[in-house]
Amino acid sequence: MSFKVGLDDGHGVNTAGKRTVALKEDIMFNGKLRKKGTIIHENEFNKVIMRKVEPHLKRCGVRYIELAPTDSDTPLSTRANVANKNKCDLVVSIHANALAGTKWQTGAYGLVVIKTKGCQSKTNKLADIMYKHLKTVDFPSNGETKYGVRVDTEISGFTLAILRQTKMPAVLVELGFMDNWNDVKVMCTDKFQNECAEAIAKAVCEYANIKYIEEKKEENKPSTSDSNVVYRAIAGSYSNKSNADKIVKELKEKGYNAFVAIYDK
Ligand SMILES: [Zn+2]
């Protein structure tokens, strides 16, 4: 049986309070323009990171399940139950932080890994490995150890169900502060999101003793939005016209505007 990870994208999309400050300028987030004055929900951010972690795990042969695949605010204890029922080998809960006027985080910055009070020793190991990788992410003030690995009771005053009720090692990562505009600007970039996702996947692999397979980066890849070129999807080349007609018929049945083009050999 291969290693299985439970991925949690923390909160529902409309969970109260969990969101950025009103954006101070128009900003691109996940390929879409978000207008100045609007907000981005924490869950939207968490989900983008989670979905970016998944292909890395897949490539490395690590199985995963999403503990709360819908957009609704699934209680943390329900998420923990899903992980337990599915016998995950570890759980990563992905979040973004907010100061929300609380005292403990005054001057907080960087990326935080949270474990539950009195956690099993395997969780200590997982948390340390997770932070080791997250520390390498290019982020303002990252690398400061002040908020590196923390215990949930120090952060929130109570233990967190997703960490306490999961039977397997579990950590929660806070990837920047949504109510800090300087953080938000970085958190919205693909570069930051990609680096976080890669760091999480690398940590999982290291913990599980699985070789991390680097992503193949295509060099000089043509831009996907170059207005001077068109991209044609080709379904096949045939020396017999009736075979080409058959494919076109199939594609047309599926709703594609397909046609046969003739090329000299
Ligand atoms: Zn959160």
Ligand 1 centroid vs 31 CA: distance in angstroms? 22
Ligand 1 centroid vs 10 CA: distance in angstroms? 6
Ligand 1 centroid vs 57 CA: distance in angstroms? 23
Give how far Cα 101 sits from Cα of 107, 144, 158, 186, 226, Å.
Answer: 11, 22, 17, 22, 45
> For the chain, which residues make up each domain, given as ranges?
4-208, 232-265
Rounded-to-integer distance, Cα 211 and Cα 172, Å:
23
**DSSP assignment string, 33-52:** EE-TT---BHHHHHHHHHHH
Rounded-to-integer distance, Cα 82 and Cα 164, Å:
14
Ligand 1 centroid vs 146 CA: distance in angstroms? 20
Beta-bridge partners for 111: 175
- Please determine, for residue 33, whether its predicted confidence score (pLDDT) is greater than 90: yes
pLDDT score, position 154: 85
Rounded-to-integer distance, Cα 167 and Cα 203, Å:
19
Ligand 1 centroid vs 184 CA: distance in angstroms? 14
Ligand 1 centroid vs 93 CA: distance in angstroms? 9
Strand 27-29 vs strand 32-34: parallel, antiparallel, or unpaired?
Answer: antiparallel
Ligand 1 centroid vs 17 CA: distance in angstroms? 10
Ligand 1 centroid vs 255 CA: distance in angstroms? 42
pLDDT score, position 105: 47
Ligand 1 centroid vs 98 CA: distance in angstroms? 8
Indicate the average pLDDT of the chain. Answer: 87
Answer whether 50's CB lies under 8 Å from 7's CB: yes
pLDDT score, position 172: 95
Ligand 1 centroid vs 231 CA: distance in angstroms? 40
Looking at domain 4-208, its CATH architecture is 3-Layer(aba) Sandwich (3.40)
Beta strand residue intervals within 72-205, DSSP E: 90-97, 111-115, 149-151, 170-177
Residue owning tokens 């400050």: 21
Residue bearing the bigger pLDDT, 110 or 185: 185
Give per-residue pLDDT as tens, 109-144: 668 899 999 999 999 999 999 999 998 998 876 555
Give per-residue pLDDT as tens, 168-181: 999 999 998 887 88
Ligand 1 centroid vs 174 CA: distance in angstroms? 7
Give per-residue pLDDT as tens, 222-256: 556 666 677 778 888 888 888 889 888 888 888 78
pLDDT score, position 145: 47
